[in-house]
Structure 1
Amino acid sequence: MSLTRHYRRLLLAYPRAYRRERGEEILGLLLDTAPPGRTRPTGREAFDLVRAGLRCRLGRPASRAVVGLALLTALICGLFTASLAARVAWETSRPQPDQAEVAAIFAEAFPGHRLNDDVTTAPALFVFYNQPLRWGSFKAVLLGDGGEYQEGSAYAAAVRPAPTPEAEILAAARQRLRAAGWQVYEPTTEVLFLDVCNPRCVSTSRLVETVLVARQGDTVLRAAVHDSSYNSYLNLEVQRAAPPAVLPAAVLAGLVGGGLAWFVFAWASRRTEGRRGVHPLFGIAFFLWWVPALLSTPSLISHHLDEPHPSWHPLWEWLGQPTCSLLFLVGAACALTVLVVALVPRKDLRPLIVSAG
């Protein structure tokens, strides 16, 4: 019967052991209570069966917190897998701009200004202290320097003296960039204070910096214009924006990773119920994964609101990575230990009965 087939599919939401013990009983009850002529379950029936089946997979029927913990674990694991997929998708990007491209952009935006011959280019899409990430760098990444792993950029500076005042430099650059097809954002101004160490180390230098951001295709430029107290009146930074493949790759991987994490959590929850030492290990993993994300996200939101970002910071930075990569690895070790404990057979393991209503 068509109705029987649909019910059997919905019962797949329950654990296999539970279906073997109670599946036929539940199916018979559903068929007996269904009105004559029905060929498909109602939407409410389908929702109730799936909800109860997924709850049954978690075990621990007396616990109210297990559902929330499962969802939060699936969410953070989904974000981690999305970050990994995003980083892999970044490999579809063009290489970071070379000296010729930087010189061409500088000439287009700032004609009449002299470009310093010392143009610094990035050796990779992502760099660690402006060098490609190598195995020898992992110790530094794990021990506090992970924030130095970031998108590479090409840097250039103009040679003094400035031919026109700072305000005219910005106004002319915005006009030329718009005419050339760039998307130009409103400039932002910030007052910086630099410590200048005289014999008593008490002097402070005030620096006014105005930043102009623009994007054309996959190229982003940031032009910083300084007042006369800085050694260069105009600095230019050029880098690639996130390639189009990053967003769909991250979304797909996040959904798949989060779903798999939920089922693994549910399996481990049933297998470790009543076992000592599991809760502290899971609590440590949960804490070490979530705290960096909760601390990083507000500061990045504020940062994005304060200045224009044609390309958002990579997803892993929102999760506090790789700055807190050591915490992530310790949490991962705790989670893997829980899974190892769950693999050990239990003599008292029985299907947990959870009402389908």
Structure 2
Amino acid sequence: MPTTGDPLARRYRRLLFCHPRDYRRARADEMVGVLLDAAPAGRTRPTGREAANLIRHGLRCRLGRPASRTVGVWATLAAVVCGLFAAALATRAAWETSRPMPDRAETAAVAAAVLPGHDLGEVDLSPALFTFYTQPLTVWHIDNLILGDGGEYEQSDVAAKIVGAPPRSAEETLALAHRRLRETGWQVYEPTVGRYSGCADKFCARITETTETTLPARRGDTEVALHVRAETPGDAVELRLELRRTAPPAVLPAGVGGGLLGASLGWLVFGWASRRTEAAHPARGAVTVLYAITMFLWWMPVLLAVPALLEHQLDEPHPTWHPLWEWLGQPAASLLFVAGAATALLGLALAAVPRRDPLLTTAAG
């Protein structure tokens, strides 16, 4: 039996913790003994290759089903999606470290710096970083959030109107704002232009052409968008400012840490259920079907949301990326997530049912 006082033996045993407990009890001494016999004299640490092989073999053992060639794929699917959802949850929690939304004084300071000589009008302050129909999300909104309105949960902004007729044309106003933003330390992005037609009166006797140009910029943890709306005929120009916070620094490490933790737990839970239902289990078929349903309900929104959001992100300039949960189709598809969570819990509950003993079954027959 390998001595526990040997540093190399202790380090080998630590690597064996990747294996299931029953496997370690039955084979740990034998495996450590073989590794020690093969190690050259004087070695105190496992090689990188040995460590990688022990970890890989341990994770593979945790999945059970040695005859299956695809169990690793199914485990990876479960681990990745669990990691993504855990990362999204962690990033949402990290958003709470952000500064409060801009108030009227901060909005007025930005307006004065960007559009000197203009008067600030009504300012619509935001009550939270993220809102549901312009209000903070509460437990009373959960039913609406799940049952179809999840897309209304979005990052909020502070909107301010500039009162009075601008003394310059739309083009001159945009040029001035672009220059002032750069001079005051903002990183300015390419403007986007939208054009549309509408009726000037209820009888639609006169058609108006409207051009709305959006100039985005970012400085520190604040993002600003200047909307310049020009209407012809008449050359009427309307100005509006929108301010919002960018993702705080804690979001990235929280997402990475939460993702790794969620993926690890997903792998371990899948391995536990896989070993439980490896053979002679009364609910093996049901657990497999429930796993397939769960993966479909969780992965389908991701596969639909990522291409659409990526196209949107590339088509329009974005000082910051959309929050991670939107890339997972959440909470717009939160009903599918909840249904998948229900099927996952049911599958785990069935996997916990005691297995049939093959010997007892044979004797009874």
* Larger RCO: 1 or 2 (CA < 8 Å, sep 6+): 1
1:80-119 aligned within 5 A: 80-116=85-121, 118-119=122-123
Q: Distance in 1 between matches of 2:222 and 2:131?
A: 17
SS of aligned partner of 2:123: coil
Post-superposition offset of 1:320 = 0.6
Is the Cα contact below 8 Å between 2:287 and 2:348 reproduced in 1? no
Residues 339-354 of structure 1: pairs in structure 2 closer than 5 A: 339-348=348-357
Q: Is 1:255 aligned to residue 264 of structure 2? A: no
Please, what TM-score do these two structures have when normalized by structure 2? 0.87
Q: Using the aligned pairs only, state the percent identity.
A: 55
| 1:52 aligned residue | 57
**2:319 counterpart of 1:319:** no
Aligned to 1:280, which of 270, 273, 289? Answer: 289
Match of 2:132 in 1: 128
Task: Give, in whole Å, the separation in 2 of the partners of 1:281 and 1:205.
Answer: 56
Q: CA deviation at 1:69?
A: 1.7
The residue aligned with 1:165 is 169
Name whichever of 44-53 and 225-234 sits farther off.
225-234
**Residues 124, 6 of structure 1: alpha-carbon distance in 2 compared, 3 angstrom cutoff:** closer
Summarize the Cα distance change of 1:269–1:172 in structure 2 as closer, same or farther, 3 Å threshold.
same
Alignment partner of 1:310 is 2:319: yes
CA distance in 1, matches of 2:222, 2:230: 27
Amino acid across the alignment from 1:180: T
Q: Structure 1 197/134 Cα, relative in aligned 2: closer, same or farther at 3 Å?
A: farther
Are the structure 2 counterparts of residues 231 and 136 from structure 1 closer, same or farther at C-alpha, using a change threshold of 3 Å?
A: farther
Task: Give 1:1-357 correspondences, 5 Å limit.
Answer: 1-35=6-40, 38-116=43-121, 118-192=122-196, 206-229=209-232, 233-274=238-279, 275-348=284-357
The size of the alignment, in residue pairs, is: 348
Q: Report the alpha carbon displacement of residue 286 of structure 1 after superposing the two structures with TM.
A: 0.7
1:161-182 CA distances to partner (integer Å, 9 max, x unpaired)?
A: 3321111111101111111111
SS of the residue 2:225 aligns to: strand
Task: Give the alignment's TM-score, normalised by structure 1.
Answer: 0.89
Q: CA deviation at 1:348?
A: 3.6
1:217 aligned partner, one-letter code: G
Partner of 1:355: none
Contact 2:62 2:275 in 1 (8 A): yes
**Gaps spanning 5+ residues in structure 1: where?**
351-357
Question: In 2 relative to 1, CA 343–35 (structure 1 residues): closer, same or farther, beyond 3 Å?
Answer: same
